[in-house]
Amino acid sequence: MRGLAPVLRGETMGDERLPGSYDRPLWDVGPTAGWSSGTAGLGPVLRAHRAGYPKARTGPVRRAYEAAERAHRGQSRKSGEPYITHPLAVTLILAELGMDTATLQAALLHDTVEDTDYTIGELRADFGDEIALLVDGVTKLDGSKWGERAEAETFRKMVLAAAADLRVLLIKLADRLHNLRTLGFQPPHKQRRIARQSQELLIPFAERLGMYELKREMDDLCFSVLRPEAHAATEVALAAHEAEARALLEPVVVRLREALVEQRLSGEVVLHRRHLWAVHLDVGDRLDTLQPADLFRLMVLIDGEDRDCYIALGSVHAIMKPVPGRLKDFISLPRFNLYRALHTRVIAEGGKVMDVIIRTRHMHRMAERGLAAHIHDVAHGRRDGFEGRIDLEWLRRLLAWQNDATSADFLESLRGDLRPEGVAAFTTDGEVILLPPGATSLDFAYALGPQIGDHAIGSMVNGRLVPLHAPVDNGAVVQILTAETARPSADGLAAVVTPTARLQIRRHLAAQRAGDAAAQGRRMVAEAVAAAAGVDLLDLESRGISGSVAEHMGFTDLDDLYAAVGKGTVDLAGLVAAITAENA
């Protein structure tokens, strides 16, 4: 078995833009400035396409390029560049994601019908139904005809087309990514509108499709437009903390690597840089509180099978204490998209917490590229058993009633369906606790641990006292007040929505009921033996008499016997007779 590949000092991933071909590791990318402006012509597109599809013919792509170039000739972007640079850049993004020839053709042509005299009929005649469907799916409806409803109806059209062919969404996402990259040439009010719409609709689409690489870049571009000061401050703070964070984390990387070698696992351990928006969501403006874990994740990439990830997890936990409740198994219980990995939080040297992500190489590619990787695999006849993993139930639900919905309702429902699934609340230490919608302070308490949930008596939300059953709002800072004597109650059961909290409270209530029955049963036995033989039950217990009777009757525990008496499942008179006989 091969050993672990050497880990380069300072090797980092996660800060890349869309990477190159599949033959290179995802983080092994050079600067992208040359192609993002799209001036390099069709060459980079064809090279990227051939890297993923060695047998692909270049003719169809060239033909689409020529048609698009002819249609857009004379038009220019706000940047002053020829218009064709935009479809070229969009196509390059898709080529580097490993998309197939038809998608690249449609991407080259994606703005022709919307912005030039070229009609969808001509396009269909020239390139066929498949390409026409893709282009039509991303073509905006004419604002002069549709008015205010244009935006909603355009989305409705796109969702409908996507139901027939998901590649429509990939083209739309690549189109939006390039528009965001070049947003600086637009007037400020338009920048903000596009960024906001991207956050509301396009980025959630990217997440739903498991395309995290693309999502991260879009996140940060929108962040810089909508919160320029916070964006700049976060960037500066991260740069200032980077060396210190690395110095702290690199010994951990080395230790982890050694631990994996001991388990005869092959793979790599790298620092994965978190993107600005993710850091901002975690720490907000409190940049003075930045911890190494805010800057980097430890990424363990395994050359192996799913089960090797669990072995790796074992070695991680063997050298660093896990933080209870922070292990997330997205291998056994995957998310709504293609994402699979193990997540854990551990305490590294000096009491610093550290988030560790463990994935196989295959999981990593799926996690970064989602649907695009899936389509690539299908095109290459590689089936991995995870097909259909993408939950398109939301898409189906939308389609089911989209016929009746007004434009406004449709957009609202689309927004609702794309909203992240739940709320993120903070501890007073700034730790994020993710909760499902409708979760309460009591759910929050149980998310911190059963001890805290069981003894919770109240909650301070954003510094104000609130009842435990009050729902927690997104972004709330929650402090749980506890008392040693407090116990879960039946009321608590009605006040929680999370499975962990429910389970823990039920367990407690069951134990309480059993305890109550045992206490009552013991009282009944004590009175009965006192009446029948004038003896003290405590005396009988201390001499082991009632214990041995319980044993004869098949109870392992005296309390179980008393509980059975309390519940009336054991005959009291018979029991008293047995005890007095044993005592005689």
The amino acid occupying position 212 is Y
Residues 14-53 that bind Mn ion (CB under 5 A): none
Among the residue ranges 105-113, 341-349, 362-370, 554-562, the one whose residues contact Mn ion (CB under 5 A): 105-113
**C-alpha to C-alpha distance for 454 and 504, rounded to whole angstroms:** 8
**C-alpha to C-alpha distance for 368 and 380, rounded to whole angstroms:** 19
Indicate which single residue of 96, 111, 219, 268 sits in contact with Mn ion (rule: CB under 5 A).
111
SS3 string, 502-517, reads HHHHHHHHHHHHHHHH
Smallest separation (angstroms) from Mn ion to the CB of 101: 19
Rg (CA), the chain: 31
Q: Are strands 423-426 and 432-435 parallel, antiparallel or unpaired?
A: antiparallel
**Closest to 299 measured CA to CA, from 271, 263, 328:** 271
Among the residue ranges 110-118, 262-270, 356-364, 473-481, the one whose residues contact Mn ion (CB under 5 A): 110-118
Query: What does the block give as tokens for 79?
Result: 């940047």
Our answer to whether residue 114 is catalytic in this structure is yes
Smallest separation (angstroms) from Mn ion to the CB of 187: 18
Smallest separation (angstroms) from Mn ion to the CB of 149: 21
Among the residue ranges 109-117, 242-250, 326-334, 495-503, the one whose residues contact Mn ion (CB under 5 A): 109-117
Smallest separation (angstroms) from Mn ion to the CB of 136: 14
**C-alpha to C-alpha distance for 120 and 132, rounded to whole angstroms:** 7
| Residue whose C-beta lies closest to Mn ion | 175
For residue 278, give every residue at least 6 positions away whose Cβ sits within 8 Å of its Cβ, in sequence order, or none.
216, 219
Q: How many Cα neighbours within 13 Å face the side chain of 407? A: 12
**Between 89 and 414, whose beta carbon lies closer to Mn ion?**
89
**C-alpha to C-alpha distance for 458 and 481, rounded to whole angstroms:** 5
Among the residue ranges 107-115, 118-126, 447-455, 541-549, the one whose residues contact Mn ion (CB under 5 A): 107-115
The amino acid occupying position 358 is I
Among the residue ranges 12-20, 128-136, 170-178, 181-189, the one whose residues contact Mn ion (CB under 5 A): 170-178
3-state helix, strand and coil shares in percent for the chain, rounded to the nearest 5: 60, 10, 30
**Between 105 and 580, whose beta carbon lies closer to Mn ion?**
105
Contact between 243 and 210 (Cβ < 8 Å)? no
Query: Cα dihedral sign for 128, 130, 135, 136?
Result: positive
**Between 175 and 220, whose beta carbon lies closer to Mn ion?**
175
Q: How many residues bind Mn ion (CB under 5 A)?
A: 2
Instruction: List the x/- string, 124-143, binding to Mn ion by CB under 5 A.
Output: --------------------
Residues 410-439 that bind Mn ion (CB under 5 A): none
Smallest separation (angstroms) from Mn ion to the CB of 186: 13
Q: Per the residue annotation, which of 114, 235, 306, 431 is the catalytic one? A: 114
Smallest separation (angstroms) from Mn ion to the CB of 85: 11
Among the residue ranges 101-109, 120-128, 172-180, 398-406, the one whose residues contact Mn ion (CB under 5 A): 172-180
DSSP single-letter state for residue 21 = -
**C-alpha to C-alpha distance for 67 and 260, rounded to whole angstroms:** 54
Quick one: CA torsion of 411, 413, 417, 422, rounded to 10 degrees?
110
**Between 75 and 462, whose beta carbon lies closer to Mn ion?**
75
Smallest separation (angstroms) from Mn ion to the CB of 339: 28
**C-alpha to C-alpha distance for 428 and 489, rounded to whole angstroms:** 26
Query: What does the block give as tokens for 175?
Result: 């189109």
**Between 201 and 496, whose beta carbon lies closer to Mn ion?**
201
Smallest separation (angstroms) from Mn ion to the CB of 115: 8
Quick one: CA torsion of 398, 400, 401, 402, rounded to 10 degrees?
60
**Between 111 and 213, whose beta carbon lies closer to Mn ion?**
111
What values do phi and psi take at 12, rounded to 5? -140, 145
**Between 77 and 272, whose beta carbon lies closer to Mn ion?**
77
**C-alpha to C-alpha distance for 446 and 482, rounded to whole angstroms:** 12
Q: Per the residue annotation, which of 11, 15, 81, 115 is the catalytic one? A: 115
Our answer to whether residue 115 is catalytic in this structure is yes
**Between 111 and 560, whose beta carbon lies closer to Mn ion?**
111
Smallest separation (angstroms) from Mn ion to the CB of 84: 11
Give the helix/strand (H/E) hosting 458.
strand 456-461
Quick one: CA torsion of 286, 291, 295, 296, rounded to 10 degrees?
-150
Among the residue ranges 104-112, 410-418, 445-453, 454-462, the one whose residues contact Mn ion (CB under 5 A): 104-112
Instruction: List the x/- string, 557-576, binding to Mn ion by CB under 5 A.
Output: --------------------
**Closest to 456 measured CA to CA, from 426, 479, 483:** 483
Residues 301-330 that bind Mn ion (CB under 5 A): none
Query: Cα dihedral sign for 201, 202, 203, 204?
Result: positive
Indicate which single residue of 16, 69, 96, 175 sits in contact with Mn ion (rule: CB under 5 A).
175
**Between 194 and 313, whose beta carbon lies closer to Mn ion?**
194
Residue in the structure block whose two tokens are 């907000």: 284
Smallest separation (angstroms) from Mn ion to the CB of 114: 8
**Between 178 and 215, whose beta carbon lies closer to Mn ion?**
178
**Closest to 47 measured CA to CA, from 101, 95, 97, 93:** 95
- What amino acid positions are annotated as catalytic residues? 114-115
What are the residues binding Mn ion (CB under 5 A)?
Answer: 111, 175
